[in-house]
Structure 1
Amino acid sequence: MQTETILYIIIAGIIALLLALFQYIKGTQKVSKLNVLFSFIRFVTLFSVFLLLINPKFEQLTLTTEKPSLVIAIDNSSSIKHLKQDENTLNVVDRLSQNKELNAKFNISKYTFGEQLIPFDSLRFTEKQTNISDAFSQLSEVYSDLNTATILISDGNQTYGNDYEFITSKYKSPIYPIILGDTVTHTDLKIHQLNVNRYAYLKNRFPVEAIITYNGNSNANSRIVITQGNATVYSHAVNFTKNNNSKTINFTLPANRVGVSNFKATVIPIENEKNIINNSKNFAVEVIDQKTKIAIVSDFPHPDLGALKKSIESNEQRSVAFLNSNEIINQINDFQLLIVNQPNNKFKKLFDVIHRENKNIFIIVGTKTDLNFVNRTSENFNQVITNQTEDYQAELNPNYAPFIIDDIDFESFPPLKSNFGAVEFSIPFETILNKKLGNVSTNQPLLVSFEANQRREAILFGENIWQWRAQSFINTKSFNAFDNFIGKLVQYLASNKRKNRLNVEYESFYNGNTNVIIKAQFFDKNYTFDTRETLNINVKDENSDEEKTFPLILKNNNYQVDLSSLPPSTYSFTVKATNENISKSGTFQILEYNIEQQFLNANVVKLNQLAENSGGTSYFIDDSNDLINNLLSNNRYASIQKSNKNIIPLVDWKYLLIIIALSLASEWFLRKYNGLI
C-alpha cells in the first residue's frame, strides 16, 4: 500500500473520531457509557464510509502446488494380441495406474491409440491400424509443458503415418517406451509390399511390383506364385542370402474381362518359418473398358490448370488434355467434359459448338475473364460488372443435393480471387460453395452446378484453386481429400445419366485394413434431399449366404453406414427406402488382409531411438518396476509451487458494507430503545 494512501486513512480516522465526539460528547456535562458507545458506533460508520471513498488496494498472495503430468499412451492395435502381449499390457497398465506413489507425485492421464488417439476407456486390441506419429502429434497440442513424462506402451510397429522416430522435433517431453513383444530374431520370409494400380483397361496388361524380404542367417530358396481362383497366372523363383535379403519382382498380368479381378500373391514358406500369415497378400484390380477424357481449354497458362489435371488424373479412369480455344473445335466430340478457363471473345466459336453439340462444361471465371462475353454467351446466368476484384473464402452448403460432398475444411483454405458483383441465375441451380468475406457470409455463389437442356454445367467464380490443393495437403498430409472432391465434381459433370431418387456411393472392393463406408442420398419427387426417409441396407455374404441388415445414419447431406465389422468376403447388398418402394443394389468385395499380423517382433531399434531422441529411456515390459523407480527418483519431475498475487480494492470487500449496515442499524436500535428518537 502506498504511503499516500496510509496518510489518507489516518486523516480519515481522525476526522471520523472528531465528528463522532462532536456529535455525542461535545456539550454534555457528564460523559456516560451510553454516549461513549454511541460515539464508537458513529466512528465505525464514518470511518468505514471514508475507507470506501479512499478505496485502498491490498495485495493477496495465493500459493498453489502443481504436480507434473504423467501421460500413458497405450497401443490398442491387434498386433499386440497377435504377439501375445495383451495380458502383459493389461497388467502393466494396472500396475502404473494403481501405484500410490506415482499418483501422489503425478497427475496421470491415460490414452489409447490405433488409427486415432482417444482417452482411455478400455483395451480390446482390435484396432486395424497403428499410427504412433499421429498420437504424439495430438498429445503435443495438449501437453506443451516440459514438466511432463510420457510412457509409450507399444510394440513399436507402425502401419501408416509419418516416421514417429523424429516426432521429438514437435513433442518436447521425455518419452519412456515400454517395449512389448519378442525380441528374438526368427527366420521369416514375407511380402513386404505389393504395388498395383486400382484400375486396368480391358485387353491390356497391367503392371505388378512385389517387394519380398527375408530375415535369416542362412541361404533361402522359394518361389512367388500369383493365383486367380485355382489357376496360377504367374510364378517366379526367388533366392536370398543373409546379406542379399530383399528382392523386387516386376511382372504384368492380363486384364481379360470387365469387372473386379481378384488375385493372391504367395511366397512359398521355407522350413521352420514361424509366421506364414505375412507370406500371402490378396489384391484386386477393377478392369474398365475405357477412360473418361476431359479437355482443359485455356489460352494462357495458370497454376490452376496443373492442379486440376493432377486431381482429375489421380483417378486412373480419367485422362486430361490441354488445348487452346482453336485446337478444341475439331476434337470436341473426343471428350466427355470441357473445362473452360477464363473465356473471352476468342472462345465464341467454341461456345457455339458447345451449345450446338449440347456438351457438358465446367467454366472457371477469374480476373482475366471477359464478363461481357460470358454474359452475352450464357442464357442461364448474368454477373454484374464492377471492374473490381475481391478475395473470398469458401463456405460449404451442407444441403447440396446432386452428389455427396464431404467437408474437407473449406473454411481453412486460402481465399480465391473473384470478380466483385452479384450473380443472377435465370434457371434453378445448386450451390456447392458460397462466398464468404471474413466471417460474413455473402450468400453469393462461389461454385455452383445446374442442369439445363439435358446437359450439366458448373461454374467456379474464382481463381487460384491450386492453393486449395496445397492447403489440403498441409491439413491432412495428403492430396486425397481435395482430389476426391474434384473427382466427384468431374464424375457428375462428365455423365448425362438421368436423376435417380436413390443414389448409392461405394467402392467395388475394399482392402481388409480400410474402413468400409457406404453412403446414400434419397430425394423426394421434386428431387429435394429428403431427411425424413429411413434407409436400411441388407448385406448378403455370397460365400456363406448369411444376411445382415443395418440402418443408414443421416449425416449432413447423406446417409451412411460403416460395414468395417464384416469379415473378408464377396457381398451383395440392397439399400431400401422404408416408406417408398425404391431400392438400389450392388456388389462389393472385402479383401482378406490384416496388416497388424505381419509382424514377428517388437521394433526395438526404433523405440530405443525414440527414447534417446526425446531424453527418455526405453524399458522391456519385465523391467517396468525400474521405470517406476526412475520416475519417482527423478528430480526433473518435482512439484512446482506457484504464487499468484492479486490486487484487491477495498470496495470489493463485501464485509465492509455489512459492517456499515450493522453499525447504522445498531445505533438506530439503541437510540430507539433509550428513547432518544
Structure 2
Amino acid sequence: MSSETLLYIILAGILSLGLALFQYFTKKKSMSRINMLFSFLRFLTVFSVLLLIINPSFDQVKVSVEKPNLVVAIDNSSSVKHLKQEKALLDFVESIKSNKEIQTKFNINYYSFGVNLKSSDSITFSDKQTNISKAFTQLNQIYKQTTSPTVLITDGNQTFGNDYQFTSNTYKQPIYPIILGDTITYIDLKIQQFNVNKYAFLKNKFPVEAILVYNGNKSIKSQFVVKSGNTTLYSKAINFSKNDNSEVINFTLPANRVGVGNYRATLVPLESEKNKINNTKNFAVEVINQKTKIAIVSDFLHPDIGALKKSIESNEQRSVSIVNPKNIINKFNDFQLIILYQPNNTFNTIIDRLDSEKRNRFVIIGPKTSLSFINRVSKDYSHTITDQTEDYLPELNINYSPFIIDDIDFESLPPLISNYGEVKFNIPFESILNKNVNGVSTNEPLLSTFETNGKREAVLFGENIWQWRAQSYINEKSFNGFDNFIGKLIQYLATSKQKSRLNIDYQSFYNGSGNIIIKAEFFDKNYIFDTRESLNITITDKISKEKKTFPFILKNNNYQVDLSSLPPSEYSFTVRATNENISKSGGFQILEYNVEQQFLNADVTKLQQLATNSSGSSYFIANTENVISDLLRDNRYVPIQKSSKNTIPLIDWKYLLAVITLSLGLEWFLRKYNGLI
C-alpha cells in the first residue's frame, strides 16, 4: 500500500470521526453511553464508505514448493513382446513405483505409447505400430514450461513417423532411454522393403521391387520366391556375403483377372535364423479394367492446375492431361471427365459439346473467369458481376449427402480468392463448403454439386486451391487428406450412380498392421444427415464362416466402426439401418503382416544418440540399477520454491458491505427504539 493511500485513509478516519462527533456531541455537555454508541456506528458507516471510495489494495503473497516431474514413457507395442522383453520392462516399472526416494523427489507421470501417447501405466503390448517421435511431440505440449526428465522404456524400433533421435531439437528435456534388448548380432535374412502399386490394369504387367538384406559374416545362398496360392510366379537364386549383404530385385507380374489378387513373397530362411517372420511379405494388387482419364482445360498456367493433377493422380486408377481449349475437341471422347479451369469465351465450343452430350464436369470459377460468359452459357446458376474480389474461408457443410466428406480441418486452410457477389442457382444444389468471412458464415456456396438432366456438375467459386494442399501437408505431414478429398469429388463426378440414403466408405484390402476403419453416412428421406439412426455391420469370414456384428459410432459428420481387431482373412459385410429396411453389402481383405515382428534387436545406436543429444544417459534393461541413483543425485532436478503475489482491491472485500449494512441498520433500529425517529 502506498504512503499516499495511507494518508487518504488517515484523513478519511479523521473526517468520519469529526462527522460523528458533530452530530451527537456538539449540543451535549456530557457523553451518554447511547450517544457514544450512535457516534461509533456513524463513524463506522462513514469510514467504511470512504474506504470504498479510496479503494486501497493489499498484496497477498503465497509461497509453494514445486517438485520436478519425472515422465515415464513406456513402449506398448507388440515388438517388445516379440523380443521377449515384457517381463523385464514390467519389473523395472514396478521398481520405480516402489522407490520412496523417487516418489519424494519427483511428481511421477506414467504414459504408454504405440501409435498414440496415452496417460496410463497399463501395459498390454498390443499396439501394432510405434511412433516415438509423435510421443515426444505430444509430451512437449504438456511439459514445455517445466523441468521434466523423461525415462523412455523402449526397444527403439519405430515403424513410422519422423526420426526420433533428433527429438531434442524440439523436446527440451533430458531423456534417459532404457534399452529393451541387447547388442548381440544374429544371422538374419529379411525382406527389408517391398514396393508395389496398389492398382494394376487388366492384361498388363505390374512392376514389383523387393529390397533384400542379409546380416551375418558367412557367405550364404537362398531363394526368393513369389507365389499366388500354390502357383509360383517368380523365383530367383540369391547369394549373400559379409560385404555383399543386400540386393534389389525388380520384376513384373501379370494382371490376368479383375479383382484383388493376393501374393506371398518369401526369402527362404536359413535353419539358424532366430526371426523367420521377416522373411515373408504378403501383398495384394487390385486389377481394374480401365483407367479413368481426366482433362484439365485452361488457357493459362496456374499452380492450382498442378495441385489438382497431383491430387487426382495420387490414385493410380486415374490419369490427368492438361490441355488448351482449342486442342481438346479432337480428343474429346478420350476423357471420362472434363475440368474447366476459369473458363472464358474460348471455352464456348467445349461447353456446347458437354451440354449436348450431357457430360459431367467440374467448373472452377475465379478472378480470371469471364462471369459474363458463365452467366450466358450456364442455365443452372448465375453469378452477380461486381468486378471485385474477396477472400473466403471454407466452412464444411456436415449435411452434405451425395458422398462421405472427411473433415480435413477446413477451418485451418487459407482463404480462396473469389469473385464478390451473389450466386443464384436455378435448380436444387448441395454445398460441400460454404463461404466464411472473418469467422462469419455467409451461407453462400464455395464448393457445390448438383445433378440435372442426367449429368453431374461441381462448381468451385475460388482460386488458389493449391494453398489448401500445401497447408494440409503442414497440418498432417502428408498430402493424403487433401488428395482423398479431391479423389472422392472426382469419383462422384466420374460416375453416374444415383444418390443413395446409405453410403459406405471402405477399401478393397487393408494391411494387417494398419487401422481398419469403415465409415458410413445415413440420410433421411429429404437427404439430410440423420444422427438418430443406429447402424450395424455384420462381418462374415469367408474362410471360417464365422459371423460378428459391430455397432457404428457417430463421430463428427459420419458413422464409424473400427475393425482393427479382426485377424487377417477375406471378409464380406452387410451394413444395416436398425429403424429402416435399408442395407448395403461389400467385401474386403486383411493381409497378414505385422511390422512389429520384423525386428531382431533393439535400435541401440539411435537410443544412445537420443540420450547424448538431450543431455541424458542410456541404460540397458539388464543394468538399470544406476538410473534411479543418477536421477536422485542430479542437481538439475531440485524442488523450486515459487511465490505468487495477488493484489486484492478492498472493493472486492464483500465483508465491508456487510459492515456498512449492519452499522446503518443497527443505528436506525436503536434510534427508533429510543424515540429519536
Which residue of 2 is the match for residue 459 of structure 1? 459
Q: CA deviation at 1:138?
A: 1.3
Q: In the aligned structure 1, how far is the partner of 2:48 from the partner of 2:572?
A: 86
Q: CA deviation at 1:77?
A: 0.8
The correspondence of residues 508-519 of structure 1 with structure 2, limited to 5 A, is 508-519=508-519
**One-letter identity of the residue aligned with 2:62:** T
Q: In the aligned structure 2, how far is the partner of 1:8 from the partner of 1:521?
A: 71
State, as a whole percentage, how many aligned pairs show the same letter: 66
The number of aligned residues is: 677
Q: CA deviation at 1:649?
A: 2.6
Q: CA deviation at 1:674?
A: 7.9
Q: CA deviation at 1:20?
A: 4.6
Contact 1:400 1:557 survives alignment (8 Å): no
Which residue of 2 is the match for residue 588 of structure 1? 588
The correspondence of residues 491-502 of structure 1 with structure 2, limited to 5 A, is 491-502=491-502
Note if 1:562 corresponds to 2:552.
no
Q: CA deviation at 1:195?
A: 0.5
The correspondence of residues 44-63 of structure 1 with structure 2, limited to 5 A, is 44-63=44-63
Contact 2:413 2:468 survives alignment (8 Å): yes
**One-letter identity of the residue aligned with 1:366:** G
Note if 1:278 corresponds to 2:295.
no
Q: Per the alignment, do residues 450 and 43 of structure 1 end up closer, same or farther by CA in structure 2, a change over 3 Å counting?
A: closer
Q: Per the alignment, do residues 432 and 665 of structure 1 end up closer, same or farther by CA in structure 2, a change over 3 Å counting?
A: closer
Contact 1:96 1:102 survives alignment (8 Å): yes
Which residue of 1 is the match for residue 260 of structure 2? 260
Which residue of 2 is the match for residue 449 of structure 1? 449
Q: CA deviation at 1:25?
A: 5.3
Q: In the aligned structure 2, how far is the partner of 1:11 from the partner of 1:578?
A: 80
**One-letter identity of the residue aligned with 2:54:** I
Q: Per the alignment, do residues 6 and 159 of structure 1 end up closer, same or farther by CA in structure 2, a change over 3 Å counting?
A: same
Q: In the aligned structure 1, how far is the partner of 2:45 from the partner of 2:532?
A: 70
Which residue of 1 is the match for residue 250 of structure 2? 250
Q: In the aligned structure 2, how far is the partner of 1:550 from the partner of 1:38?
A: 80
Q: In the aligned structure 2, how far is the partner of 1:452 from the partner of 1:333?
A: 21
Note if 1:649 corresponds to 2:638.
no
Q: Per the alignment, do residues 77 and 675 of structure 1 end up closer, same or farther by CA in structure 2, a change over 3 Å counting?
A: same
Q: Per the alignment, do residues 411 and 671 of structure 1 end up closer, same or farther by CA in structure 2, a change over 3 Å counting?
A: closer
Which residue of 2 is the match for residue 304 of structure 1? 304
Q: In the aligned structure 2, how far is the partner of 1:28 from the partner of 1:404?
A: 92
**One-letter identity of the residue aligned with 1:324:** N
**One-letter identity of the residue aligned with 1:310:** K
Which residue of 2 is the match for residue 144 of structure 1? 144
Q: In the aligned structure 2, how far is the partner of 1:140 from the partner of 1:633?
A: 24
Q: CA deviation at 1:382?
A: 0.8
Residues 385-410 of structure 1 show CA distances to partners (whole Å, capped at 9, x for unaligned) of: 11110010101111111111100011
Contact 2:68 2:146 survives alignment (8 Å): no
**One-letter identity of the residue aligned with 1:482:** F
Which residue of 2 is the match for residue 608 of structure 1? 608
Q: CA deviation at 1:299?
A: 0.6
TM-score normalised to structure 1 length? 0.95
Q: CA deviation at 1:611?
A: 1.1
Q: Per the alignment, do residues 20 and 609 of structure 1 end up closer, same or farther by CA in structure 2, a change over 3 Å counting?
A: same
Unaligned runs of 5+ in 2: none
The correspondence of residues 425-444 of structure 1 with structure 2, limited to 5 A, is 425-444=425-444
Contact 1:264 1:283 survives alignment (8 Å): yes
**One-letter identity of the residue aligned with 2:165:** E
**One-letter identity of the residue aligned with 1:354:** L
**One-letter identity of the residue aligned with 2:387:** N
**One-letter identity of the residue aligned with 1:631:** L
Moved more, 430-439 or 652-661: 652-661
Residues 420-464 of structure 1 show CA distances to partners (whole Å, capped at 9, x for unaligned) of: 111111111111110111100110001111111111111110111
Q: In the aligned structure 1, how far is the partner of 2:671 from the partner of 2:367?
A: 88
Q: Per the alignment, do residues 356 and 96 of structure 1 end up closer, same or farther by CA in structure 2, a change over 3 Å counting?
A: same
Which residue of 2 is the match for residue 382 of structure 1? 382
The SS at the match of 1:478 is coil
Which residue of 1 is the match for residue 291 of structure 2? 291
Which residue of 2 is the match for residue 539 of structure 1? 539
Q: In the aligned structure 2, how far is the partner of 1:659 from the partner of 1:118?
A: 53
Q: CA deviation at 1:659?
A: 4.3
Q: Per the alignment, do residues 534 and 45 of structure 1 end up closer, same or farther by CA in structure 2, a change over 3 Å counting?
A: closer
**One-letter identity of the residue aligned with 1:213:** V
Contact 1:146 1:172 survives alignment (8 Å): no
Q: In the aligned structure 2, how far is the partner of 1:316 from the partner of 1:205?
A: 14
Q: In the aligned structure 2, how far is the partner of 1:22 from the partner of 1:505?
A: 89
TM-score normalised to structure 2 length? 0.95
Q: CA deviation at 1:557?
A: 4.3
Moved more, 500-509 or 465-474: 500-509
Residues 246-285 of structure 1 show CA distances to partners (whole Å, capped at 9, x for unaligned) of: 2111111111111111111111111311010111010111
Which residue of 2 is the match for residue 635 of structure 1? 635
Q: Per the alignment, do residues 41 and 392 of structure 1 end up closer, same or farther by CA in structure 2, a change over 3 Å counting?
A: closer
Note if 1:94 corresponds to 2:131.
no
Q: In the aligned structure 2, how far is the partner of 1:655 from the partner of 1:535?
A: 59
Q: In the aligned structure 2, how far is the partner of 1:53 from the partner of 1:426?
A: 67
Note if 1:337 corresponds to 2:365.
no
Q: In the aligned structure 1, how far is the partner of 2:87 from the partner of 2:229?
A: 39
